[in-house]
Amino acid sequence: MSHPLSSMNTADATLNLRGVSRSFGNAKALDGITLSVRDGEMVAVLGRSGAGKSTLLNLINRLIDPTEGEIWCGERNVSQLRGRALLDWRRESAMIFQRFNLVSRLNVITNVLTGRLAHAPRLPKLIGRFTDHDRDVAIDALEALGMAEFALRRADELSGGQQQRVAIARALVQQPRIILADEPVASLDPVNSRAVMEALRHINQHRGITVLCNLHSVPLAREYCERAVALAKGKLVYDGPVSGLDDATLAVIYGSTDALAEAH
């Protein structure tokens, strides 16, 4: 039997964005993004505030729909998925958020268990019944992140760093192929930031899960990722190794030296 938390899919899972755009009213948040992410990569997504980083991740998870273009995962046209298939895709592309987005009045273990809502059997989960197996998987994930002892605490009683680790556990129990992390360390102090980035790297290397990570900090990108893509005003302005992020490139990404200093 495979590891309960490892990705259970073996088919090709290359993520392909083909000319993806998204408008809000008249404003184009994303403009013709074409991007390919291979299975098992860990990619940093850079760009200044409002560049479209969150929009990109929300599109991939299909929390929002593209106005143009297509998103593919292997042989699947993700942008066309409906109903059950769409919910399955959301399960496969787990999200982590800057403000953790845990349900504050639920305890830690129930928050993690919400990552099992898209797994069978689904009917009992409509009224709050999870299986023993679900609970095993959830407590394993919490243990892996050093959070098992907090299982019965209310989510809003934890520190930011602890909440983010719970959020990662929730993502893990979804058994995703991809983790989409939207500025996962932007609300954390340096020590907690490292812990969270280490956890993401560990998941990427040991479980083979692809990680797309929006980051504000270029040094963090350099340290934890091999590849970076960068957005500016909704357009893809860089796609290459982090070593290619020289001053000239960063000036293009961040527009001005002020914003550049902020990113360092």
Partner 1 sequence: MTDTATSDSMVSAEPLHRSQFRATWRAHRWQKARVSLTGVLVLVALIIFSARLGEVDLAHLWDRLPRLTSYFGRMVPNLAWETLWVDLAKWYWNGGKWLASLWQTVLIAVYATLFGAALAYIFSFLAARNLTPAPWIGIAARRTLEFARTVPELVFAVLFVFAFGIGPLAGVLAIALHSFGALGKLFGDVAENANLDEVKGVRSTGANWWQTMVYGATPQVLPDYLSYGLLRFEINVRAASVLGFVGAGGIGQDLYGAIKSFHHTDISAIALMLIAAVIAIDSLCSWLRGRVIGQEGLRAL
Ligand X SMILES: Nc1ncnc2c1ncn2[C@@H]1O[C@H](COP(=O)(O)OP(=O)(O)OP(=O)(O)O)[C@@H](O)[C@H]1O
Amino acid identity of residue 92, one-letter, is: E
51 binds, among ligand X, Mg ion, partner 1, none (CB under 5 to 8 A by kind): ligand X
49 lies in the binding site for ligand X (CB under 6 A): yes
Nearer to Mg ion, 53 or 177 (CB): 53
User: Which residues in 29-68 contact partner 1 (CB under 8 A)?
Assistant: 61, 63
Strand partners, 44: 213, 228
Residue range at the interface with ligand X (CB under 6 A); choices 3-11, 46-54, 138-146, 168-176? 46-54
How many residues of this chain interact with ligand X, rule: CB under 6 A?
Answer: 11
Q: Which of 60, 53, 112 is nearest to 89 (CA)?
A: 60
Ranges of beta strands (E only) in 25-132 are 27-37, 42-46, 68-73, 76-77, 93-96
> Which of partner 1, Mg ion, ligand X, none is residue 49 near (CB under 5 to 8 Å by kind)?
ligand X
Compute the CA torsion angle 59, 65, 67, 73 (nearest 10 deg).
60
Give the shortest CB-45-to-Mg ion separation in angstroms.
10
SS3 25: coil
Nearer to ligand X by Cβ, of 52 and 176: the residue is 52
213 neighbors 31 (Cβ within 8 angstroms):
no
Partner that binds at residue 217, options Mg ion, partner 1, ligand X, none, CB closer than 5 to 8 Å by kind:
none
Q: What angle do CA 7, 98, 154 make, to 5 degrees?
A: 80
Residue 94 Cβ vs partner 1, minimum distance, rounded to whole Å: 7
Q: Which amino acid is located at 44 in the chain?
A: A
Task: Identify the residue among 52, 69, 115, 176 touching ligand X (CB under 6 A).
Answer: 52
66 binds ligand X (CB under 6 A): no
Q: Which phi and psi angles does 231 have, rounded to 5°?
A: -115, 145
Part of the chain binding ligand X (CB under 6 A), chosen from 2-10, 31-39, 43-51, 78-86: 43-51
| 55 interacts with ligand X by CB under 6 A | yes
Q: Using CB distances below 5 to 8 A depending on partner kind, what does residue 150 bind out of partner 1, Mg ion, ligand X, none?
A: none
Q: CA triplet 155, 98, 10: central angle to 5 degrees?
A: 90
The one-letter amino acid code at 195 reads A
CB of 221 to ligand X, least distance (A): 14
In angstroms, the CA 218 to CA 107 distance is 34
Q: Using CB under 6 A, pick the residue from 13, 15, 47, 89 that binds ligand X.
A: 47
Which of 9, 32, 118, 235 is in the footprint of partner 1 by CB under 8 A? 118
Pick from 7, 21, 54, 61 the residue near Mg ion by CB under 5 A: 54
Structure tokens, 145: 């992140």
